[in-house]
Structure 1
């Protein structure tokens, strides 16, 4: 396919998958349960954090996290008692365990109490070209609380050559707003043009087949290569093509 054919093909696939039907099979359904900005942010951040592995299990365990927080994420983060944190000890999703969950609650409380919330931290540290430096700074601030070293692996650092798939997905959820009903678009101070594609095995394989990605590993260098191509297709909203790449990989076995 030449450039115009590729753009037409991918734009069609974006239209096919970027609609409310997408929500029922995706972890983005978790933040959609809420209307309060902080509830949406926290539910989105936690469900994106455990978004690897079987999608049904991701969704099941994300709902479990919210239930353990009394279905009021922001209130729980800001007002929990010690005994309530102890009830999180038995939570497990793959390598994310109860102690990690407790550290994440404390990290979130630190962000909201001392740094004016999640949006402010990411907005404050963005640069002109991407959100990767912002993610790096966010991770440093998030882990200013006491925590086990092992917990840090659950937030990737793109400046260490990670594709940071899960946190880039979270940022897509919070920042993209196209009135299609999927991405929530509640953060108004960050441009969607700065977003990076949530690069995973599905989107990576499809991108290679379409000639959008040459690098074999799904790492930070591959993400930069893919982002560059997607910005050529749409400089204002490059990560809308995540719907096309993911849909082609997961639903069409492209």
Structure 2
């Protein structure tokens, strides 16, 4: 089965629409969390994920939106989430509440941050080693860092971990005995210095990474319409 792997859409429906427009044929959608936050159309993103019958896991922004009433911290991120939550319908909230923190699909583990902690960023090899130690799954898909790439582990008397970037796309074939933590990159807000929507296709022992250009004009018009801060658009222009 061929899986379209998506992460960190963050209310950017125009980026998601672009991905669905150009993605090669797939059988099922896997979503690694953070449907909401940053950009205005969290409701539409959730509608699209429902229409796709995606298999989702909960991200930190999704969890924050659900828990806004009990969070004590403040800031622009939570202000955006409150704005979005006020515009969600009961079906959207019921849908989000049903998302698990992790799930298994064809032997692979889906999480948002790390097998240890869904809020933990897998940024370096030490975090990756701890993540590998926290699960027996040979393949883990995660998001959260908004950076496309994979940590690879070769078990043995002296295990080694290395990281491979896929910001410009590319293909990863997993040899026997190698385990992997795979991040498809962010659909809605890449942070690896390369603008455009990131996604991956997974089938068997191969993961193919993609980065596609997204026209920012419709999003800019939408953000101006609802009064979202322009610095969020500048992040997209620079892939930051």
Q: Does the pair score TM above 0.5? A: no
After TM superposition, the score normalised by the length of structure 2 is: 0.30
Q: Which structure carries more helix by proportion?
A: 1
Q: Which structure carries more strand by proportion?
A: 2
After TM superposition, the score normalised by the length of structure 1 is: 0.29
